[in-house]
Structure formats: C-alpha cells, structure tokens
Amino acid sequence: MRIAVFAGDGIGPEVTEQAVRVLEALGLDGLELVEGDVGGMAYRKHGHPLPPETLETARSADAILFGAVGDFSCDHLERHLRPEQAILGLRKELGLFANLRPARVFPGLEDLTTLREEVASKIDLLIVRELNGDVYFGEKGMRTLPDGRRQGWDMMSYAEDEVRRIAHSGFTAAMGRSKKLCSVDKANVLETSQLWRDVVIEVSKEYPEVELSHMYVDNAAMQLVKNPGQFDVIVTGNLFGDILSDQASMCVGSIGLLASASLAEGTYGLYEPIHGSAPDIAGKGLANPMATILSAAMLLRHSLGLEEQAVRIENAVAGALSAGVKGGDLGGAAGTREIGDAVVERL
C-alpha cells in the first residue's frame, strides 16, 4: 500500500503533516508514504508545477493525499506554469474523472453557517462533479480577429462516453444514499448540456429505482440558497460543479472540515481538503488540518478498502470536535499541531 503525499503550497505542508501523523498512528502494516512536489513550490524547485517525477510518483502509488496549491507570486506566469496546473494535470493525466464532494452540517456546528439553523441542519448532500472534460480541457487560446480585435476563446464540449461514466458515478452514489439524483445543466442554452441531459436520461434506464430530476444551473444556485435540504445527490459537469460545490460547501459553514475525493475508474483516487492554500495564515501553525485528516479517511475507505480504519479516524475527529478542539476557522483557538494531537490521541 503506497500513498503519494503531495503537500503543495501555503498551509498544504502543515495540514498534510498532521494527516500523515494520523495515518502513521494507525500502525497499518505495509503502508508506504512517498512525497512529491506540486504547485508553486514545485515550480520554484523544478520549473514546473507538476514535474515528471511527481507524476511518476503518483502513478507508482495506490492513491494520493493532496494538500493545497496556489501561490500569488506565480500569478504573472503563463497559464501552463501556474500552481493550479498541478491539480488540473493530475486530474487529466490520471483519469480522475469523478469528484465527490459531500456537504453536511456537523452536529453542534450549526452556528457556523450564515444560513438559518433550521435550513442548514437539513443539508446532507453529495455533489458528483465531472473533472476531465467540459470547457476546462477543450482547446483554448487568444487570437486577433481579422478586424484586429483581441479575443479569448475556450471550447466547451462533452462526448457521450464522458457523460456516461460520470452519470454512472452519480447513479451509483444515489443508490447508496436516498435514491434521488438531480442532474444540473443549462440545456436551455448549451448543446453541451443537451447532450449531457440526453445521456443522463439514457443511463437512468439502468437505475430504475433512482428518481432522476433535472435542474438548470441558475435555478440550482437559487435552490441551494432557498432549500438545500431538498438535494441528496447532484451530478453535474466540471464548470457548474466547480461553482455549485463551492457554494454548497459554504452553506455548511465549516470548510475547514470538508474533504473531497477525485476518483479514477477502479480504486485509484486523489484526496484533498476543499479549502485552498490560504497563504495569509501559512506557516503560522493556525490552519485546521481536520479536512485533510478526513480526506485521509476517505482515501483509506475508497482506495485501500480500509473501512474500519476510516471510521476510526472519523470518530476521532468527531470526538475531538465534541471535546471542543476547534480551529480558528470554527471559532476555536486550537492550532494545527494541537488538533493533530487531539485526533491521534483519540484513535
């Protein structure tokens, strides 16, 4: 069992360090951790945010534990050299096409969200976002039109097989939850969405027990404010998923607790906290490592089949929280290492 650990930029290293401590404290037989450089720090060391050796390390592993990338000092670089390309590159190169982002309000933390308690407490949803296609990975460029004007352009598209496999991810997730799936698109304007909708409907025939609905993305953004409790599993494309999953996370209030998985076919996956590199607090020992620790739990469950150990970690985090061990983002005062200690103690 080999886990690639890519800590990245900003608070990435400190939160990842605690997650690694937690993994090591489990005393798993034959667990090997290998590090790799990604993001702005990789650019500075190797001239590229996703150096070939990192990609090789990833390929040699069973799963990736990822910290965060992002570094303002790289803002002036050409797009293909910016830190974000590390995560985009890993998704594409490793075929990580299904991003699972669960969002639910943790009991006792209802006061962290800006939504009214009676609205927030009903949130328990999963966003299944496609990660390998859409306008993210189409051809794109800057050009000068014949009349001399500059134009920026990006091709948005989905092919039926790309939609089919993420639709299966969505329906499978729905089967494991409350058998309701909402597919989000903009089929009233986009042909890409029309194809998306057609294929999702085709795939739905294989899941007769799942109740499928369709929603336009603008309406979905409204409904996530009006009544987020109406959703169970949402499946959507890369761009809409980017926006809606961040919106949904903030509805929960405690993004320092939210983990995510990006899965390939089979068991391979990349696991990361949904928060970013937070350069403003980096290196100060203030970052909350819980989301990364919970990402490690997801990794054990999905990629290594270690359900029991995953639950041990999740219970330890819940225990630390209910004992009042909270990071600054949750209104507490516990530092990064202190939170790591509290979780390790409770394993």
Ligand X SMILES: CC(C)[C@H](C(=O)O)[C@@H](O)C(=O)O
Residues in touch with its own copies (CB under 8 A): 79, 82, 84, 88, 114-116, 119, 135-136, 138, 140-142, 145, 149-161, 186, 188-196, 217-219, 221-227, 239-240, 242-247, 249-251, 255
Q: According to CB under 6 A, which residues from 91 to 120 bind ligand X?
A: none
Known active-site residue 242: yes
36 has binding-site annotation: no
Decide: is 242 part of the binding site for ligand X (CB under 6 A).
yes
Planar angle of CA 302, 287, 122, nearest 5 degrees: 60
Asked if residue 285 belongs to a known ligand binding site, the reply is yes
Query: Annotated binding residue at 295?
Result: no
> Is 271 among the catalytic positions?
no
Distance (Å, whole) CA 210 – CA 116? 30
Cβ proximity to ligand X, 111 vs 218, nearer residue = 218
Count the residues of the shown chain that bind ligand X, applying the rule CB under 6 A. Answer: 7
Query: What residues form DSSP beta bridges with 100?
Result: 128, 261
- Residue 193 interacts with, from its own copies, ligand X, none (CB under 5-8 Å by kind): its own copies
Nearer to ligand X (CB atom), residue 220 or residue 286 = 220
Would you call 114 exposed, middle or buried from its count of C-beta atoms within 10 A (0-12, 13-18, 19+)? Answer: exposed
Q: Hey, CA dihedral for 299, 305, 309, 314, is it positive or negative?
A: positive
Long-range contacts of 202-209 (CB under 8 A, 24+ apart): 202/164, 203/164, 203/167, 203/168, 203/171, 204/167, 204/171, 206/171, 207/171, 207/174, 207/175, 207/181, 209/175, 209/179
Active site residue 186: yes
- Is residue 125 within 8 Å of residue 247, measured between CB atoms? no
For Cα atoms 92, 87, 310, give the angle at the middle one, nearest 5 degrees. 100
Neighbouring CB atoms inside 10 A of 205's CB total 7
Q: Residue 82: which of its own copies, ligand X, none does it interact with, CB under 5 to 8 A by kind? A: its own copies
For residue 284, which phi and psi values (nearest 5 degrees)?
-100, 0
Shortest distance, position 329 Cβ to its own copies, whole Å: 11
Restricting to residues 210-239, name those near ligand X by CB under 6 A.
218
Which CB atom, from 242 or from 314, has the smaller least distance to its own copies?
A: 242
Pick the catalytic residue: 186, 232, 271, 329? 186
Q: Which of residues 166-195 bind ligand X (CB under 6 A)?
A: 188-189
Q: For residue 287, count CB atoms less than 10 angstroms from its CB and return exposed for 0-12, middle for 13-18, buried for 19 or more.
A: buried
Tell me, yes or no, if 216 is annotated catalytic.
Answer: no
Q: Would the annotation count 197 as a binding residue?
A: no
Nearer to its own copies, 108 or 324 (CB): 108
Q: Is 232 a catalytic residue?
A: no
Catalytic residue among 92, 122, 124, 246: 246
Helix, coil or strand: residue 5? strand
Residues within the interface to ligand X (CB under 6 A): 84, 87-88, 188-189, 218, 242
Annotated binding site for substrate: 91, 101, 129, 218
Query: Which residues are marked as active site?
Result: 136, 186, 218, 242, 246
